[in-house]
Structures are given as structure tokens and as C-alpha cells.
Amino acid sequence: MTAPASPRQPLSWPSLLGRGLFFFALWLVLIGAAPKDWPVGLIAAAAATGASIPLWPPESRLSLTGLVRFVLRFLPQAMVAGFDVARRAFARRIAMKPGLVTYRASLRPGMAQGALCAVMSLQPGKLPVSCAASGDMRVHCLDSDASVTAELAADEAAFLRILPGDRSGA
């Protein structure tokens, strides 16, 4: 598992190794487990690990229970989002009031905020449009009358539980 050494901070090798193994396992699942293909998979896993370093520094960690709870919360909501759009599309009259809502996120811009935006774009009736440096997010809503801000805050709180102690994003 080779990765370019960062000049600023010492890399934590165990976490990088785990990450590389994860990428290699993903490669095995997608491409197949024939041993003659393994060299390519190892190179691909090493490259993926190297590419992941600037995006997700090895020091940051995830809370596993927070992640599980988050997925349990997010999956049903993603399904509700799909059916919500379907219901609106098949309704006899298009009843919606699209508009932009501004929401102040407590996350700083960076990887974590980007991930939050991506997750929120799968929530029912919401689609983040832009994230300003101050943490202001503009969210496009199918129903700008609904209690959007409260829902967004609840989503963000669930998301923050994945990142214990590290609220700066980075």
C-alpha cells in the first residue's frame, strides 16, 4: 500500500492500510476474484488510497454507531423522497411552490459539508444549491412553505453524530 507522504503531518499507516484493504475488497467485488488480475487491483487500491488522502485526512475518524443510526434514518427518507416526487408527478394538478430557502449550517466548508449537501440532496423535497464560506446553504425546496429549516437542522444533527469531536469538517 504505497501512498505519497505528506510533508506536513505524519501519516497514520494503520488507518491507510485499512483504507487500502477496503478499496481492494471493493475492487474484488466489482471485477472478480481471479488471482491473475490481482496486480491491477492492488495498483488501483493504492491509487484510490492516495487520492483519498487530500479528500479525507487519515486522522479524522467516524463513529460507527452514529453511522449506523444515520443510515437507518437516511434510507427510509431517501425512499420517501422518491415516492414523494412520484406522487407529485402523477398528481392531477401540480401542487407545489418551488423556492429557495437559506439555512445556516454549523459545519465549515470542506469535505464534511460537501458530504452533508450530497446527503441532503436525497432528502424529500430538498436540494442544496450552494454552500457559502460562512456556512450559509441555499436549499431549493419543492414546497417552500413546509417546515424546512427544522427538518434541515434535524438532518444535520444526525449527520454530526458520525463525526465525533471533529466539527470543523476540513
Partner 1 sequence: MMGLTDAFTLVCVVAGALLFLAGTVGLLRFPDTLSRLHALSKADNLGLGLIVLGLLPQQASPMGGVKLVCIWLLAQLSAATASQLIAGIAARRKPQA
Partner 2 sequence: MPESLTLTALFVLLASAAGLAIVLRSAIAIEKLMAVQLLGTGGAATLLLLGAATAQPALADVALLLVLLSAFSCAAFTLGESEPPQAATKPDEPA
Binding site residues, partner 2, CB under 8 A: 30, 51, 54, 109
Q: Which partner in partner 1, partner 2, none is near 109 (CB below 5 to 8 A by kind)?
A: partner 2
Contact call for residue 125 and partner 1 (CB under 8 A): yes
Q: Which cell is 36 given?
A: 491473475
Q: Kindly give the residue spans of alpha helices, DSSP state H, lying in the chain.
A: 13-31, 38-55, 64-90, 111-120, 148-160
Q: Which residues pair with 100 in a beta bridge?
A: 140
The sign of the CA dihedral 140, 141, 144, 149 is: negative
CA dist 164 and 3 (Å) reads 26
Q: Which partner in partner 2, partner 1, none is near 95 (CB below 5 to 8 A by kind)?
A: none
Q: Which partner in partner 2, partner 1, none is near 16 (CB below 5 to 8 A by kind)?
A: none
CB closer to partner 1 out of 15 and 121: 121
Nearest alpha-carbon partner for 20 in 4, 36, 44, 39: 44
52 and 3 Cβ atoms separated by less than 8 Å: no
CB closer to partner 2 out of 48 and 153: 48
Q: Which partner in partner 2, partner 1, none is near 140 (CB below 5 to 8 A by kind)?
A: partner 1
Q: Which partner in partner 1, partner 2, none is near 108 (CB below 5 to 8 A by kind)?
A: none
CA dist 104 and 136 (Å) reads 4
Pairing state of beta strands 136-141 and 126-131? Answer: antiparallel
Question: Which residue among 142, 152, 160, 162 contacts partner 1 (CB under 8 A)?
Answer: 142
CB closer to partner 1 out of 66 and 114: 114
Q: Which cell is 163 given?
A: 463525526
CB of 38 to partner 2, least distance (A): 18
Q: Which residues of this chain interact with partner 1, rule CB under 8 A? A: 26, 29-30, 33, 78-79, 81-86, 88-90, 94, 96, 98, 100, 114, 117-119, 121-122, 124-125, 127-130, 138, 140, 142
